[in-house]
Amino acid sequence: MKRTTTRLADGRELIYYDSADDAPDRDVPDRRPLAPVAAMSEVRRDPLRDELVGYAAHRQSRTYLPPADQCPLCPSRGDRLGEIPAGDYEVAVFENRFPSFGGAAGRCEVVCFTSDHHASFAGLSGERVALVLDAWTDRTRDLAGHPGVQQVYCFENRGAEIGVTLAHPHGQIYGYPYITPVTARALRSVAAHKRATGGANLYDDLLAAERADGRRVVLETERWTAFVPRAARWPYEVHLYPRRRVPDLPALDDAERAGFPGVYLELLRRFDRLFGPDAPPTPYIAGWHQAPVGIGAEARGDFALRLELFTVRRSSDKLKYLAGSESGMGAFVSDVLPEAAADRLREVATR
């Protein structure tokens, strides 16, 4: 892999990732007249929920649903100048111009999976997915040492139903300045389970139980297991675990890394077939849950890396809205049984 680091006109970092060491030079100057980014992020604590809430008022002016010929994530060509100055690229990562967190309080980055505006992650080659995994791993390792970052989350939002404002295939990486509520609750549950069982690991026990039951396992290889969790919140939700417990992406070994592209592409392609050939592309959120940075060696060792993939679509023409119960009280009620979801995800396997 070749890694080329440069700067945009306003000082933000841009990194190109190429699969070949002899890839063309990507260090092209940014010709735009940009002023330095002024991120105005703030974090406040909700005393009743005991949770932190971020505020980023500057994001009100971020780019919103531009036409394809004005996409800021496409390569810069001729007079059309975007966020990526090079005329072509494989994978590119840059600091978000409109970050949710920034400066001394975390960091936000954009990951472009391909220069092809009309592509999708599911349509990438296995080699390109391996390169994306390398980029995620490299950024996780780097951001874990960034001042103020406590947790790194690599994720992709796909589809207007999710709230995506740029159609180009891309994801994001958040370096949170705090441990997120979902992870904080998980850490408490893992610690409680360890105390109650005399040392057993909750993630190991959950994975073993799903594999033994089998009804919700949708895909399994020598290194990876994908299943619909027994208490899934979303209509179609899959958790993908490496069979060996590791805390984060940098801890994956060569065999696990080599096995990931095929498994993940198969899952995404099944998601696109869930609702039949005439249905629009399935919207989804996919994100890597990784151990926080400064929680101590024992707690990090007890954490299990996993990718969670889910869609808000519950049928070809219906969405799962978070209305009164879910949004107001955090009490989920799902329309699709996890076992039925797993059955369907097995039915639409690649033949």
pLDDT in tens, 129-166: 999 999 999 999 999 999 889 999 999 999 999 989 89
Quick check: 40 pLDDT over 80? no
pLDDT in tens, 225-258: 999 999 999 999 999 999 999 999 999 999 999 9
Residue 64 is predicted with a pLDDT of 66
> What's the whole-model pTM score?
0.95
Q: Which two tokens stand for residue 293?
A: 């940075």
Q: Per-residue pLDDT averaged across 258-279, rounded?
A: 96
Residue 61 is predicted with a pLDDT of 64
Quick check: 291 pLDDT over 80? yes
One-letter amino acid identity for 278?
D
Half-sphere exposure of 160 (CA within 13 A, CB side): 4
Residue 102 is predicted with a pLDDT of 78
Which is the catalytic residue, given 58, 118, 146, 170? 170
Q: What percent of the chain has pLDDT over 70?
A: 98
Determine if residue 198 is left, alpha or beta; phi over 0 gives left, psi from -120 to 50 gives alpha, anything else beta: left
Asked whether the beta carbons of 53 and 176 are under 8 A apart, the reply is no
Residue 57 is predicted with a pLDDT of 76
Active site residue 118: no
pLDDT bin (cut points 50, 70, 90) of residue 67 is confident
Helix residue spans in 236-337 (DSSP H): 254-272, 297-302, 329
Asked whether the beta carbons of 284 and 238 are under 8 A apart, the reply is no
Strand boundaries in the chain, DSSP class E: 2-7, 13-18, 41-46, 51-56, 91-95, 107-112, 151-158, 170-176, 217-220, 224-227, 236-242, 284-289, 306-311, 313-315, 318-319
Q: How far apart are CA 108 and CA 287, in angstroms?
A: 15
Q: Which residue's entry shows tokens 């945009």?
A: 8
Per-chain mean pLDDT for the chain: 94
Question: Which domains are seen in the chain, by residue range?
Answer: 2-176 (3.30.428.10), 181-347 (3.30.428.10)
Q: How far apart are CA 216 and CA 225, in angstroms?
A: 11
pLDDT in tens, 185-200: 999 999 999 999 999 9
